[in-house]
Amino acid sequence: MPDPDLDGILPLTPAVFHVLVALASEAKHGYAIAREVEDLTDGRILMGPGTLYGSLQRMADAGLIEESSNPGDAARHAQRRRYYKATRLGRAALRAESERLLRALDLVRERTGG
């Protein structure tokens, strides 16, 4: 059974799903998230500045992610950037969504004999 807090959050949009994947291991700043999502999807999800921060704001409002301190990134402009990490809810949502996708995949395989 999924966590009851996840009502109304699942299913995740592909963008939100991939942002959560990008933040699964460590905190990242906005642009790094966008680049990672782009890599993860072979360039199919290309987030412009507005789309990126619009999504991040929504996800933060929904409690999926939160701002975090700079995890020791010493790169240029690192001090000025805003960093994000996944919340417990965010990680739960990612897990639940992955399970949902796996079940869906199983279902398809079963029916098509794949």
Is residue 85 within 8 Å of residue 27, measured between CB atoms? Answer: yes
C-beta of 76 vs 111, nearer to another protein = 76
Helix (H) or strand (E) run with residue 66 in it: strand 65-68
CB of 114 to another protein, least distance (A): 34
State yes or no: residue 64 binds another protein (CB under 8 A).
Answer: no
Is residue 59 within 8 Å of residue 90, measured between CB atoms? Answer: yes
The rounded distance, in Å, linking the Cα atoms of 48 and 28 is 16
The rounded distance, in Å, linking the Cα atoms of 46 and 18 is 11
State yes or no: residue 53 binds another protein (CB under 8 A).
Answer: yes
- Per-residue x/- marks for another protein, 12-51, CB under 8 A? ------------------xx--x-----------xxxxxx
Per CB under 8 A, which of residues 73..112 are in contact with another protein?
Answer: 76-77, 80-82
CB of 8 to another protein, least distance (A): 12
